[in-house]
Amino acid sequence: MKRFEKYYNLIVAFVFCVAVIAVYKTFDNLSNITKYIGVVIGALKPFFIAFLIAYILNMPAKSLQKWLKKAKKSFISNHALGISIVIIYLLAVVVVIFVLRMLIPALYRNVIDLYNNIPGYINAFQDYINGFEIVQKLNIFESGLNLYDRINKFFSSIDIAQFGKYAQGVYSMTTGLFDMFVAIIASIYMLIDKDRLQHGLVRVMGIFLKKERVASVTHHAKRVNDIFTNYIYSRLTCSVIMAVVCSIVLMLMNVKYALVLGIFIGAMDMIPYFGSIIACIVAIIASCLTGGLWQGVWVAVVLIILQQIDGNLLGPKIMGDSLEIRPLWIIFAVSVGGTLFGFLGMLFSVPVVAIIRAIAADYIDAKEINKKTAEVKENNGE
């Protein structure tokens, strides 16, 4: 090695020049590199979709597998994993068919009908408000309450006629038949081989990391997965219950577009605090426009009662202490997440904050234990 020491500066200069040329050529051919990256991502897209499907179905499949292992028949208990996967996928297919064949067409018709009738609803509600004697005496609105002119500016920017084309474009772009077929098959094998995949990943980490570090990473990864999946499934369960209950209650109250409003309330329930408030306001406004002021008042009363039941009884019962964070931090997470990342930020910010809190708490606890241990050793003169 000594004979190369006199060439050390030349070697460093050569490596630097090669690096500069590599960086230059990278930016010079950035379009080609981006194209190749896009091709690679496109080839891997079915496996990304497969991972997402497997991750979503893993929790119900795992719960069903535990239940089947307790079966008295040896065939069922010995093949609990395969049977649970088959049952979960069959249920998923039934849900998808129901949504595509019944729910989406009904929602589409309701949305189109609502959009087409909005001018009439607004004008009727405007005439109703302007018909109050106190409004006429006080001359609050000299030229009438021009709700339609104001709201029409917002809806004029929405090309509802292209709604079907947009949906079809998204469907064609993200869920091609071949990609979905490969993704479904791959997701099944991911669920079957999940233990082997986890074991292989731990072995690979063991090559580069110490045993204690691998154990720490594995422990925190499990906690992250538990927090995230528990939160998502808990919120999803609450949202589905709220969507079904609100749709039925609004139908019984003869509220027009009850299905759309019920599903909207359930979807917005995924967002803590702010989602239920926004959904309630939208439902009240829609009820006032389509059914009159008193129907809007009764809808407000009913929705407030249902949301109180959801927030104080249903939510805590289902979610339990899976988050372990105070309401102030939840509001902070939703506000910051929504500002930075929009709807997805509002949806996933709470479990992210819960994960950060859990990891930070573990780190602080470990530091405190190490500090106390060091103090004990120092006091004992070790």
Show contacts of 62-68: CB within 8 Å, 24+ apart.
Answer: 64/88
Mean per-residue pLDDT over the chain, rounded: 76
Please report whether residue 46 resides in a domain: no
Please report whether residue 143 resides in a domain: no
Highest mean pLDDT among 87-91, 102-106, 158-162, 332-336: 87-91
Please report whether residue 218 resides in a domain: yes
Q: Is the pTM of this model over 0.85?
A: no
List the one residue out of 253, 251, 280 whose CA is nearest residue 265. Answer: 280
> Is the dihedral angle over the CA atoms 71, 76, 80, 84 positive or is it negative?
negative
Q: What string of H, E and C letters represents the secondary structure of 265-287?
A: HHHHCCCCCHHHHHHHHHHHHHH
What pLDDT shows up at residue 301? 92
pLDDT in tens, 232-289: 888 888 888 888 899 899 989 888 888 888 888 888 888 777 788 888 888 888 888 7
pLDDT in tens, 279-321: 888 888 888 878 878 888 899 999 989 888 877 777 666 665 5
Structure tokens at 36: 């190749």
Would you call 93 exposed, middle or buried from its count of C-beta atoms within 10 A (0-12, 13-18, 19+)?
exposed
Of 154-158, 210-214, 247-251, minimum mean pLDDT range: 154-158
Alpha carbon distance 219, 225 (integer Å): 10
Alpha carbon distance 246, 240 (integer Å): 10
3-class state of residue 170 by DSSP: helix
- Using an 8 Å Cβ cutoff, are 267 and 243 in contact? yes
Q: Distance from CA of residue 366 to its chain's centroid?
A: 32
What pLDDT shows up at residue 259? 85
Q: To which H or E segment does residue 24 belong?
A: helix 8-28
> Is the dihedral angle over the CA atoms 174, 179, 183, 185 positive or is it negative?
positive
pLDDT at 113 over 70: yes
Please report whether residue 284 resides in a domain: yes
Q: Which residue has the higher pLDDT, 8 or 301?
A: 301
- Domain of 252 in residue numbering reads as 210-376
Q: Which residue has the higher pLDDT, 252 or 165?
A: 252
Q: Is 257 left (phi over 0), alpha (psi -120 to 50) or beta?
A: left
Q: Which residue has the higher pLDDT, 75 or 376?
A: 75
Alpha carbon distance 362, 325 (integer Å): 14
Would you call 37 exposed, middle or buried from its count of C-beta atoms within 10 A (0-12, 13-18, 19+)?
exposed
Please report whether residue 223 resides in a domain: yes
Please report whether residue 23 resides in a domain: no
Backbone φ and ψ for 72, nearest 5 degrees, come out as -75, -30
Alpha carbon distance 66, 174 (integer Å): 34
Alpha carbon distance 91, 73 (integer Å): 23
- Count the domains in the chain: 1
Would you say how long the chain is, in residues?
382
Q: Is 324 left (phi over 0), alpha (psi -120 to 50) or beta?
A: left
Q: Distance from CA of residue 37 to its chain's centroid?
A: 27
Segment 44-54 shows an average pLDDT of: 85
Residue with tokens 């500090």: 371
How far does the chain reach from its first CA to its final CA, in angstroms? 45
pLDDT in tens, 135-149: 556 555 554 445 555
- Using an 8 Å Cβ cutoff, are 351 and 334 in contact? no
DSSP one-letter string for 305-318: HHHHHIIIIIHHHH
Please report whether residue 337 resides in a domain: yes
Structure tokens at 142: 């000299």
Q: Which residue has the higher pLDDT, 101 or 325?
A: 101
Give the pLDDT band (50/70/90) at residue 378. confident
Structure tokens at 276: 């239920």
Task: Cite the DSSP H helix spans in 193-210.
Answer: 194-208
Contacts of 14 (CB under 8 A, 6+ apart): none
Whole-number Cα distances in Å, 309 to 225, 234, 258 = 28, 15, 20
E strand intervals along the chain? none
Backbone φ and ψ for 3, nearest 5 degrees, come out as -70, -15
Please report whether residue 308 resides in a domain: yes
DSSP secondary structure letter of residue 161: G
pLDDT at 111 over 60: yes
